[in-house]
Chain A
């Protein structure tokens, strides 16, 4: 996969300055100098485990045996995944539902609150911190206890509904609703994209708004014609990352369901299923195969996002188009 928007070199500059070749060579070298720590990390730390997992995906491997004893099974793991494992497809459905609902809601919440917070107002930094607090809890055991207590039959949420005479459901313990409590949890932790939006909003030059005001533009026009386009690289980043995160969602599903994906597999996310296969059932070869299929599919989705990005993401560095 490739980020086509980034790979394309722009057409030759209009002015042909002397020493362009030398500059090119210098820039080429500089590129690799700056890239060297990452390259070292890639080759030394990231690539080896990735390749091992790729190899293991073609083997029958339990972590309890030595790597060299993993027995080659060809495409058996992949075949089993696509033809014989019902829980696999169930987990795929759960994950897609989760990502499709949670990602847009979370991004909308993050952008909405970021816009509200992007003001000079007394105490605004306290607000920012408070909104970020839920994300600080990460996926701790405490969080799981909190969430279950909010959304079980006697939970606070149902007490709230009772004020309006509505009788609530046992949300977290209801197989039809458990996934939505998980989605709500993801949306509740909108702090990370919110901070990134805030940082992005800071990059929008105030001069643009000032010029627009002189022209008598409405607040909405300024939002649509200045804020959104200027923010689009950051929106794009959040969209790509939250999509990847959404599909990879593990921790909250793990802690909320005690590592089971229950009730009756209703919160069995892809990566949770993968963890169960690899670490609980000790079938790490199969888990590796699941991971590589995941990489390919999410990779394809990412490429798709990148290619749509060309139509709506505006970069100030004028590199594409």
Chain B
């Protein structure tokens, strides 16, 4: 990618300055995370009393303790989280793309109304929906069945996360309509346009959707807590709460250790997928 803005800056100094600026920002932004690493190797007494960066007594055992503390190994919780997150990604990208194509590109009756309703569903605070949802899903027989993740996954396949629909709509509106019109002249149907014009050009939006839905699902706590009731089905965020019972014991060190470990999969997912973002579509795509 050749950036014209780069050329405007004097040679050599620009990139270096930018690099240093980035380095400083990164250092500030990451300090709390580095602190977390320090805490994950502190002893229980130190966690409470020493809030410095460096532990006085290096306690790497927190990782092993956290991993094996429960009847089910923490690896199982990560696998459960990965399963739920990946399936949610799949559901969200497919279903939200379809809905966004309709709302963003096609002209049909009541489209404005549906779009408004879609935005409206974003606005109601989720806490008042949990109980009605629980009752509904239980009525449908999804709760506590053989497959405990149904209540978490089915909504994803039905595009209920309006955030992503809106996101993809906004991206699609950046795709010139001339492309559709050209395709129409070539005799393409709305399905053909979707397949040959929109789908290839929607990659940044889809990658963004994939990244967010993976991370949000990986970090989601309340819904997973409510719908999962057996230790072996717990996901990582739910399992993390097993370390802390503020009325009795808390294993803060192992909790920090596992919190850090649980960052790794999301970080890797992000790095892998953002590469798709970087490659972008701008040079090849727009010429259709």
Contacts and interface: CB of A to CB of B under 8 A. Distances in A.
B226 to A, nearest CB: 11
A97 interface: no
B283 A45 contact: no
Interface in A18-50: 23-24, 26-42, 44-46, 48-50
Contacts of B259: 137, 140-142
B124 A302 contact: no
B68 interface: no
A35 B102 contact: yes
Nearest to B265: A136
Interface stretch (B72-80, B81-89, B173-181): B173-181
A42 B208 contact: no
B135 to A, nearest CB: 7
Interface stretch (A100-108, A146-154, A163-171): A146-154
Contacts of B176: 316-318
A127 B26 contact: yes
Contacts of A29: 108
Interface string A218-235: 110011000000100110
Interface size class of B (residues with CB under 8 A): 35 or more
Nearest to B215: A136
Given A116-B21, A142-B256, A318-B177, A133 B267 contact: yes
Contact of A195 (B19, B98, B114, B274): B274
A136 B113 contact: no
A117 B22 CA distance: 9
A105 B106 CA distance: 36
B57 interface: no
Contacts of B125: 248, 250, 270-271, 274, 290-291, 294
Nearest to B220: A138
B108 A132 contact: no
Contacts of B252: 145
Given A196-B167, A200-B174, A134 B119 contact: no
B11 interface: no
Contact of A125 (B109, B219, B278): B278
B183 to A, nearest CB: 12
B158 A45 contact: yes
B278 A202 contact: yes
A63 B18 contact: no
Contacts of A127: 22, 26
B207 to A, nearest CB: 7
B98 A38 contact: yes
Nearest to B172: A317
Contact of B32 (A130, A134, A248): A134
B127 interface: yes
Contacts of A145: 39, 252, 256
A134 B33 contact: yes
A197 to B, nearest CB: 10
A53 B278 CA distance: 43
A233 B266 contact: no
A244 interface: yes
B170 A38 contact: no
Interface string B1-28: 1111111110000010011011001100
B118 to A, nearest CB: 7
B263 A137 contact: yes
Given A136-B267, A210-B4, A3 B277 contact: no
B129 A146 contact: no
A20 B16 CA distance: 57
Contact of B263 (A37, A128, A136, A278): A136
Contacts of B271: 125-126, 128-129
B274 A125 contact: yes
Contacts of B109: 28, 31
B31 interface: yes
Contacts of A199: 171, 204-205, 207-208, 277
Interface string B270-288: 1100110110111100100
A290 B123 CA distance: 12
Nearest to A279: B127
A204 B283 CA distance: 9
B57 to A, nearest CB: 18
Contacts of A125: 271, 274-275, 278
Nearest to B96: A38
A37 B99 CA distance: 7
A131 B102 contact: no
A92 interface: no
Interface of B: 1-9, 15, 18-19, 21-22, 25-26, 29-33, 35-36, 39, 51, 53, 95-96, 98-99, 101-103, 105-109, 111-125, 127-129, 131-133, 135-136, 154-155, 157-160, 163, 165-167, 170-177, 184, 189-191, 194, 204-205, 207-208, 211-212, 215-216, 219, 221, 237, 240-241, 244, 252, 255-256, 259, 263, 266-267, 270-271, 274-275, 277-278, 280-283, 286
User: Which 7 residue pairs are nearest across A and B when measured between Cβ atoms?
Assistant: A41-B158, A31-B108, A7-B112, A138-B219, A49-B132, A202-B280, A38-B99
Given A31-B107, A34-B101, 12 more contacts: A1-B119, A34-B99, A38-B95, A38-B118, A53-B132, A121-B19, A130-B29, A138-B216, A202-B204, A209-B3, A222-B8, A234-B171
